[in-house]
Structure 1
Amino acid sequence: MGASARVRLHGHLDHPAELTVEDLRALPAHRLEVSFDCLAEGEQRHGYEGPALWDVLRAAGPRIDFTGRKQRLRFLLSVSGADGHRAVVSWAEIDPDFAGCRILLATSMDGAPLDADGPQLVVPDDRCGARYVSGVTAVWLGPLAEPAEVR
């Protein structure tokens, strides 16, 4: 991705943005030591640091009604990587009123900065590493549409 890796925040946001890893470092950082199973490389253990996805999205002004709870449950996040990999996270996973998972957009891995490659999605409660999206290029927030009726 080069030295100017950017993450596009878009969808149901009052303040869509394009952020660099440096921009992400301006948000409160958290450090997590995680382990997960990688199908290709076996067990992985890494230390990540970066802002919580919750903080990144709250700064972008999610267009979600926070006066109640049930309406928040239909919102999803789609996180895309430079290699085309994509993972979905539900809003309830990151919302403190529900699971409150500290999912990160990591700015460093094992002490090495991720400025050139772009941030990495870190889902610490996952045993499988499939939702660890490297080189994140976009985070979309939006509601799940009504399912089509099956006939």
Structure 2
Amino acid sequence: MSRTRAAARTTAAVAEVVLAGDLARPSRLTVADLLGWPQQQAEVAFECATSGVRHHRFTGPLLHDVLSAAGPGFDPARRKDRLRFLIALTGTDGHHSLMSWAEIDPDFGRAPVLLAATIDGAPLDRAGPQLVLPQDRCGARYVSGITAIRVDGGYRSWP
């Protein structure tokens, strides 16, 4: 196999996460990019419907830090505008999860949600990062192989 084809295969094997939505700086990130952020560690136990209680050690940046750097479109003229923002995540297997900005905001829920770059010391560069919610008893929101994160502030009024 030629070096060009081998390089293309290696590049294709690296997963990317698309950050999109109401962001000043939408982008694409790899696990290598996430490893450049300050790393947090979480040792978690959560219930999985198919395999019982799972125990893992994850490392990665806080989701709040990564999304804050992307410049969420909060309106400074609107008091507490960030409370209307939602975060939608999609995994390679079609698994979706939705959370509010308030859950991860240090002024409100302060949940230490990770965009994990490693699991049990193994890098996730080919599988893609994993959403880790140490506060969740059930593992249903632990989205694996995240392909997209969308920040949406479209909820400006209620019926």
Structure 2 length-normalised TM = 0.87
- After TM superposition, what 4+ stretches of structure 1 lie above 6 angstroms from structure 2? none
1:69, 1:137 → 2: CA distance? Answer: 32
- Displacement of 1:3 after TM fit? 2.1
> Which residue is equivalent to 2:137?
127
Q: Contact 2:86–2:153 at 8 Å: present in 1 too?
A: yes
Q: Tell me if structure 2 keeps the 8 A contact 1:11–1:140.
A: yes
Which structure has the greater CA radius of gyration? 2
**Greater strand share, structure number:** 1
Change (3 A) 1:11 1:41: same
Q: Distance between the aligned counterparts of 1:43 and 1:134, measured in 2?
A: 17
1:113-147 alpha-carbon deviations (Å, 9 max, x no partner): 00000000001111010000000000000125345
| 8 A contact 1:66–1:72 mirrored in 2 | no
Q: CA deviation at 1:67?
A: 7.0
Greater per-residue helix proportion? 2
CA distance in 1, matches of 2:22, 2:153: 8
- The match for 1:57 is 67
In the other structure, the counterpart of 2:151 is 141
Coordinate RMSD, CA, aligned: 1.5
Assess if the C-alpha contact under 8 Å between 2:73 and 2:153 holds in 1. no
Provide the rounded CA distance (Å) in 2 between the counterparts of 1:95 and 1:68: 17
Residue 65 of structure 1, CA deviation: 3.3
Q: Is 1:21 paired with 2:31?
A: yes
Unmatched tracts of structure 1, length 5 or more: none
What's the CA shift for 1:70? 2.8
Identity of aligned residues (%): 52
Q: What is the letter of the counterpart of residue 43 of structure 2? A: E
Equivalents in 1 of 2:104, 2:79: separation in Å? Answer: 13
Given the alignment, which residue of 38, 46, 54 partners 2:56?
Answer: 46
Number of residue pairs matched by the alignment: 147
Q: Which runs of 5+ in 2 are unaligned?
A: 1-11
- Which 10-residue stretch deviates more, 62-71 or 74-83? 62-71
User: Are the aligned partners of 2:31 and 2:124 in contact in 1 as well (CA < 8 Å)?
Assistant: yes
The corresponding residue for 2:9 is none
Choose from 95, 110, 114 the match for 2:105. 95
Counterpart AA for 1:83: D
